[in-house]
Amino acid sequence: MVRIPAGPFIMGSDRTDEEGLQARYGFATPLFLDEHPRHRAWLPEFWIDAYEVSNKQFKAFILATGRPLPYAWGHNGYGLTMEEAATMDLDRLRRIGAEDFRLDMDTTRMDRAVLMAAMEAAQKKRDPFPVTGISWHYADAYCRWAGKRLPTEAEWEKAARGPDGLEFPWGNEWDTSITNTGDDADWEDGIAPTGAYPRNRSPYGVYDMAGNVWEWVADWYHPYPGSDYQSEYFGDKVKVIRGGGGGIGHYALSYFFRGATRQFAEPEMAGEDVGFRCARGGD
């Protein structure tokens, strides 16, 4: 984890949609207005994970607690144990290899040992990727199990932007080479392993806070103090997600990946490009 020192920082922004992005791309809600006003805030010391929680870390939680598998894992084979594979009907195992694991080989002719080896290798390849397809409730439960908690929205923003309120974790200029925008053909489903973009680093040394996957935070979606913006979504209805994800597509990227950008989702939602990281209070 990374220590974030106590002290003031800049939160929010006073930007407006001068380029007309909302109309151009057909967004349902106004852009920037829920970030108002730009203000100086203060937080005590806290710690935050340097990287998003990985599949491997989350799988340890699932195995330790006996909770049901995340929905997405039932469709990519990651949740299958080799103990289950060892006793499963071979024809069924071959179908799982082809349909769920999407093994690039003729599984209909593979024996059990070769098939299991290929499946295990595919699972290990997924280990370092950020876990996605989980609800806010799952993310909250993992952090509590790990002796931590989800970061507050303010903690997340300070860790991402530093004390001076940078536009992006690395600075104030947008650069598509620094982060995963979901367009890189090297990454299956548009998601990269945690830490794959070493320049995507905040002033405090926290990685991947712009791009790759969105991140759940603890807060409900509320207006900032002093804001005159009104939204039907404000209140204890939806949770805030931060950071931008590969599922956004190639348009308006610099808006979505800004450190001040706020988005939201119902806590039951399990998005394919939404993950999380944990935090804890200072010692």
Q: Which tens digit of pLDDT belongs to each residue from 257-268?
A: 999 999 999 999
pLDDT at 247: 62
Residue 221: per-residue pLDDT: 98
Instruction: Provide the pLDDT for residue 249.
Output: 57
Cα–Cα distance list, 160 to 34, 205, 215, 275 (Å): 18, 9, 12, 16
Helices (H), 14-53: 21-25
Bridge partners of 54, per DSSP, are: 130
- Half-sphere exposure (CA, 13 Å, Cβ side) for 180? 28
Read off the pLDDT of residues 40-49 as tens digits, 9 standing for 90 and up.
Answer: 999 999 999 9
All structural domains of the chain:
2-54+131-281 (3.90.1580.10), 68-126 (no CATH)
Q: In what order do the strands lie in the sheet with 46-48?
A: 2-4, 46-48, 279-281
Q: Poorest-confidence range of 42-46, 111-115, 152-156?
A: 111-115
- Per the structure block, which two tokens stand in for 246? 């590969």
pLDDT at 57 (0 to 100)? 96
Kindly state the average pLDDT of the residues 217-227.
97
Reported confidence tier of residue 122, pLDDT bands at 50, 70, 90: confident
Rg (CA), the chain: 20
| Residue given tokens 């348009």 in the structure block | 251
Contacts of 95 (CB under 8 A, 6+ apart): 107
pTM for the full predicted model: 0.90
Q: Where would I find the H helices in 54-191?
A: 55-65, 82-87, 90-99, 112-126, 136-145, 153-161
